[in-house]
Amino acid sequence: MLQCHAKGCDDPAKNFPLEISDFTKEEIEAEKNKDFLVRMLPKLEWNALYTTAVKLGITGLPETLPSDAETNDEFLSALHTVLLEVHIKEGKMTCNGCNHVYPIKDGVPNMLLAEHEI
């Protein structure tokens, strides 16, 4: 859901998704809500979500969005984990457009820009 927002870095194919590296992750159990996931489905850019999940070493998501996504419980449960339960504790998010590195510290990404980027 987060993209690079530096000035001039506006190629939507490159400023998203940010590439996560040097990370430690944790899973925090989240409440399940099927309706919510179904409602989010059309808002997701599947390819970006899939490649990011793979980077994070999470298997279980299919490469393409299944046609029965809304009713496929196994799929929804994998999606639930990726969207709501996996948290990056420490790491870096790098923009493929301008190479800006956004650090993640104590589970909180820092996405402030430097002044020449605004």
Partner 1 sequence: MSTKFLIHFAQIHTDFRIAELESLARLNGINVDLHKGSPDLSSPYLVVELQSIDEAKKLIERSILVKEICEYWAEGKTYEELFEKIKQNPERNMLYKKDSFKFNVDVFGGSNTEEEKLRKINNFSFLPFKGPIDLKKPNQEFMVYENYGDVDSPGGRSSEPKVIYFGRRIASSSRYEMIKKFTLKQRKYLGTTSMDAELSLVMANQALARPGTLMYDPFVGTGSMMLTCAEFGSYTMGSDIDGRQIRGTAGYRKGINGIKANIDQYKLSHRILGNVVFDICQNPWRAMDLYKDSGWIDLIVTDPPYGVRAGAKKLGRRNGTVEDYSFKIVDGVENHKRKDYYPPTVAYEMEDVVVDLLEFAAKMLVVRGRLVYWIPTVTEEYQLDDIPIHPALELVANSEQPFGSWSRRLITMEKIREWSEADSKVYNTNPADSENSSRCTSSTSLSGLPNNKPSPAHRNFRARYFSKFIRQDSPATPADAGN
Which residues lie near Zn ion (CB under 5 A)?
4, 6, 9, 15, 95, 97-98, 100
Residues ≥6 apart with Cβ < 8 Å to 103: 91, 92, 93, 109, 110
Neighbours of 55 (CB within 10 A): 13
Closest contact distance (angstroms) between CB of 45 and partner 1 is 8
Q: Is 73 in the site for partner 1 (CB under 8 A)?
A: no
* Residue 115 buriedness (CB in 10 A; 0-12 / 13-18 / 19+): exposed
Q: Which of 11, 17, 79, 14 is nearest to 42 (CA)?
A: 79
Q: Which of 83, 68, 1 is nearest to 36 (CA)?
A: 83
Closest contact distance (angstroms) between CB of 18 and partner 1 is 9
68 binds, among Zn ion, partner 1, none (CB under 5 to 8 A by kind): none
Binding to partner 1 (CB under 8 A): which residues in 74-93? 84, 87
Reduced to 3 states (helix: H, G, I; strand: E, B; else coil), residue 16 is coil
Q: Is 53 in the site for partner 1 (CB under 8 A)?
A: no
From 30, 47, 54, 62, residue interacting with partner 1 (rule: CB under 8 A): 30
- Going by the DSSP 8-state scheme, the letter that residue 78 receives in this structure is H
Q: Is 60 in the site for partner 1 (CB under 8 A)?
A: no
Residues that bind partner 1 (CB under 8 A): 1-5, 12, 16, 28-31, 33, 35-36, 39-40, 42-43, 45, 84, 87, 105-116, 118
